[in-house]
Chains A and B, each alone.
Chain A
Amino acid sequence: MEEKLRQLQVEANGAIEAAQDVAGLEEVRVRYLGRKGEIADIMGKMKDLSNEERPLVGKFANQLKNEISAKLEQRRRTLGTGAAETEKVDVTLPGMQRRLGHKHPITQTMERINEIFLNIGFRILEGPEIETEFNNFTALNIPQDHPSRDAFDTFYLEDEFLLRSHTSTVQIRLMQKERPPLQAIMPGRVYRPDATDASHSFMFHQVEGLMVDERVTFADLKGALDIFAKQMFGTQTRVRFRPHFFPFTEPSAEVDVSCIICKGKGCRVCGQKGWLEILGAGSVDPAVFKAVGYDPRQYTGFAFGMGVERIAMLIYGVDDIRLFFENDLRFLRQF
Chain B
Amino acid sequence: MKISYDWIKEYVDIRMAPETLEEALTMSGTEVISSEKLGDDRIMELEVTPNRPDCLSMVGMAREISAVTGKRFKKPTAKLPSFKVLKDQTPLKIEIKDKDLCPRYTGRIIKGVEVKPSPVWLKKRIESMGLRPVNNIVDITNFCLFESGQPLHAFDYAKLDGGRIIVRRARKGEKITTIDNNVQELAASDLVIADSARPVAIAGVMGGVDTEVAAFTKTILLESAYFAPNSVRRTARRLGLPSESSYRFERSVDLGAVLSASDRAAALILDLAGGELGQLCDIGKKAASEKKISFDMSSVNRVLGTDLSEQQIKKILTLLQFKLKPKGKDKVDIQIPSFRQDLNRGIDLIEEIARVYGYERITPKIPHIVGHTDRVEDSRKVILRSREILASAGLDEVITYSLLSRAKHRNLRLSEDNLVALRNPLSLEQEVMQTSQLPGMLDVVAHNLNRKVDDIEIFAFGRSYQRMGKKRYKEEAILTIAMCGNIKEEQRGYRKVNFFDLKGALDLLMDELRVPFSIEEKRFAWCREGLSCVIKISEKEAGFMGELKGDIRGQLGIERPVFIAEVNFDAVTKSAELKRSYKEVPKFPSILRDISIVIDESISADRISKTIREAAGSLAARVELVDIYHGKQIPNGSKGMTYRVEYLDKKKTLRDEEVNGPHQKVCSAITEQLNAKIR
Q: What residues make up the interface of A, taking CB atoms closer than 8 Å to B?
A: 93-97, 99-104, 106-107, 111, 118, 120-126, 128-130, 145, 147, 150-152, 155-159, 161, 163, 181, 183, 189, 191, 193-195, 202-203, 211, 213, 215-224, 226-227, 240-245, 250-254, 283, 285-286, 300, 324-330, 332-333
Cβ–Cβ contact B372 & A123, under 8 A: yes
Interchain CA distance A243-B67 in the complex, whole Å: 15
Given contacts A95-B491, A183-B370, A329-B456, contact A243 B29 (CB under 8 A): yes
The distance in angstroms between the C-alpha atoms of A254 and B284, with both chains bound, is 39
Q: Looking across the interface, which residue of chain A has its beta carbon closest to that of B456?
A: A329
A125 to B379, CA, bound (A): 10
Contact B370 A213, beta carbon cutoff 8 Å:
yes
Cβ of B60 to closest chain A Cβ, rounded Å: 15
- B198 at the binding interface (Cβ < 8 Å): no
> Is the Cβ of A327 less than 8 Å from the Cβ of B444?
yes
Interface centre among A106, A152, A244, by most B CB within 10 Å?
A244
Q: Which of B15-60 contact A (CB under 8 A)?
A: 26-29, 31, 49-52
Check A120 against B359 for contact (C-beta < 8 Å): no
B451 touches A328 (CB 8 A): yes
- Assess whether A129 is in contact with B475, with CB atoms less than 8 Å apart: yes
Given contacts A99-B394, A332-B398, contact A130 B465 (CB under 8 A): yes
Residue from B31, B369, B433 in contact with A120 in the complex, judged by beta carbons closer than 8 Å: B369
Check if A96 sits within 8 Å of B31, measured CB to CB: no
A-B CB proximity, top 3 nearest: A217-B305, A219-B305, A243-B29
Q: Can you report 14 residue pairs joining A to B where beta carbons are below 8 Å apart?
A: A101-B392, A103-B397, A118-B376, A121-B371, A147-B50, A217-B305, A219-B304, A219-B362, A219-B364, A240-B360, A243-B27, A251-B355, A327-B448, A332-B397
> Which B-chain residue is minimally distant from A243 (CB atoms)?
B29
Stretch from B70-78, B344-352, B552-560, B652-660 forming part of the interface with A = B344-352
User: B422 an interface residue at 8 Å Cβ cutoff?
Assistant: yes
Alpha-carbon distance between A103 and B395 when the two chains are bound, in angstroms: 9
Residues of chain A with a CB closer than 8 A to B458's CB: 327, 329
Give CA–CA (A170, B363) in the complex, Å: 29
Chain B residues in the interface with A (C-beta under 8 A) = 26-29, 31, 49-52, 229-230, 233-234, 237, 302-306, 345, 347-348, 350-351, 354-355, 359-360, 362-372, 374-377, 379-380, 384, 387, 390-403, 420-426, 430, 433, 444, 447-448, 451, 453, 455-459, 463, 465, 467, 470-471, 473, 475, 488-491
Instruction: Determine the chain A residues whose CB is within 8 A of the CB of B488 once the complex forms.
Output: 97, 99
Chain B positions within 8 Å of A181 at CB level = 370
Among B28, B230, B345, B364, residue most surrounded by chain A Cβ atoms (within 10 Å): B364
Contact of B420 among A104, A130, A193, A300 (CB under 8 A): A130
Q: Are A159 and B359 in contact (CB under 8 A)?
A: no
Partner of B424, one of A120, A155, A159, A219: A155
Residue of B nearest to A124 (CB): B376
Q: How far is the CA of A123 from the CA of B381 in the complex (A)?
A: 12
Interface residue from B305, B391, B401, B451 paired with A203 (Cβ < 8 Å): B401
Residues of B within 8 A of A126 (CB): 377, 379-380
Residues of A with C-beta under 8 A to B398: 104, 327, 332
Knowing A126-B380, A242-B27 are in contact, say whether A157-B350 is a contact too (CB < 8 A): no
Q: In whole angstroms, what is the CA distance A221 to B362 when docked?
A: 10
**Sample of 6 more A-B contacts, CB < 8 Å, known A118-B376, A120-B367, A283-B347:** A99-B394, A103-B387, A121-B372, A195-B426, A218-B305, A241-B362
- List the A residue with the shortest CB-CB distance to B489: A97
Given contacts A157-B423, A218-B305, A219-B306, contact A102 B351 (CB under 8 A): no
Contact of A217 (CB < 8 Å), options: B304, B423, B433: B304
Chain A hits for B367, CB < 8 A:
120, 183, 211, 216, 220-221, 223-224
List residues of chain A with CB within 8 A of the CB of B395: 101
Residues of B within 8 A of A97 (CB): 488-491
Q: How far is the CA of A229 from the CA of B284 in the complex (A)?
A: 52
B403 to A202, Cβ gap below 8 A?
Answer: yes
Residues of A within 8 A of B359 (CB): 218, 222, 241-243, 251, 253
Residues of A within 8 A of B27 (CB): 240, 242-243
**Residues of B contacting A224 with CB < 8 Å?**
366-367
Residues in B whose Cβ lies below 8 Å from that of A227: 366
Q: Is the CB of B303 within 8 A of A156?
A: no
Closest chain A CB from B477 CB (angstroms) = 9
Asked whether, in the complex, the Cβ of B491 is within 8 Å of the Cβ of A93, the reply is: yes
Residues A121 and B369 in contact in the complex (CB < 8 Å), given A159-B470, A251-B355, A328-B451 = yes
B23 to chain A minimum Cβ distance, whole angstroms, is 11
CB B467 to nearest CB in A, in angstroms, measures: 7
Give, as a whole number of angstroms, the nearest-CB distance from B56 to chain A: 14
B387 partner, pick from A107, A183, A226, beta carbons under 8 A = A107
The one of A120, A129, A216, A324 in contact with B402, judged by C-beta atoms closer than 8 angstroms, is A129
Report yes or no: B380 in contact with A106, Cβ–Cβ below 8 A: no
Partner of B351, one of A122, A183, A250: A250
A274 to B364, CA, bound (A): 22
Tell whether, in the assembled complex, residue A107 and residue B49 are in contact, meaning their CB atoms are under 8 Å apart. Answer: no
Chain A residue numbers with a CB within 8 Å of B380 are: 124, 126
Tell me whether B399 and A107 are in contact (CB under 8 A): yes
Asked if residues B305 and A330 are in contact (CB atoms below 8 Å), the reply is no
Point out the residues of chain B lying under 8 angstroms from A217, CB to CB. 302-305, 365
Q: Chain A contacts of B233 at CB under 8 A?
A: 147
A129 contact from B51, B393, B463, Cβ within 8 A: B463
Query: What CA separation (Å) do A157 and B474 show in the bound complex?
Result: 13
User: Assuming the A-B contacts A157-B422, A159-B471, are A103 and B366 also in contact, with contact meaning beta carbons closer than 8 angstroms in the complex?
Assistant: no
Tell me if A215 and B350 are in contact (CB < 8 A).
no
| Inter-subunit contact A101/B390 (CB<8 Å) | yes
- The residues of A that contact B457 with a CB separation of less than 8 Å are 101
Contact B447–A300 (Cβ < 8 Å): no
Contacts of A223 in B (CB 8 A): 364-367
CB distance from A240 to the nearest CB of B (A): 7
Tell me, in angstroms, the Cα distance from A220 to B430 when the chains sit together: 41
Given contacts A99-B394, A126-B377, A219-B305, contact A329 B475 (CB under 8 A): no
> A140 to chain B: closest CB distance in Å?
15
The answer on a CB contact under 8 Å between B28 and A123 is: no
**Residue in A111, A250, A286 with the greatest tally of chain B CB atoms within 10 Å:** A250
Q: Specify which chain B residues have a CB less than 8 angstroms from the CB of A193 in the assembled complex.
A: 424-426
Residues of B contacting A161 with CB < 8 Å? 471, 473
* Chain B residues closer than 8 Å to A107, beta-carbon distance: 387, 397, 399
B473 near A130: Cβ-Cβ < 8 Å:
yes
* B397–A220 CB distance below 8 A: no
Is B394 within 8 A of A245, CB to CB? no
Taking CB atoms, residues of chain A closer than 8 Å to B364 are 219, 222-223, 226
Q: In the complex the two chains form, what is the Cα distance from A107 to B233 in whole Å?
A: 38
Q: How far apart sit A109 and B369, CA to CA, in the bound complex (Å)?
A: 24
Q: Which residue of A lies closest to B399 (CB)?
A: A104
Nearest residue, chain B, Cβ from A286: B347
Whether A324 lies near B422 (C-beta < 8 A) is no
- B177 CB to nearest A CB, Å: 26
**Min C-beta distance of B589 to chain A, whole Å:** 26
Expressed in whole angstroms, the Cα–Cα distance for A29 and B305 within the complex equals 90
B399 near A244: Cβ-Cβ < 8 Å: no
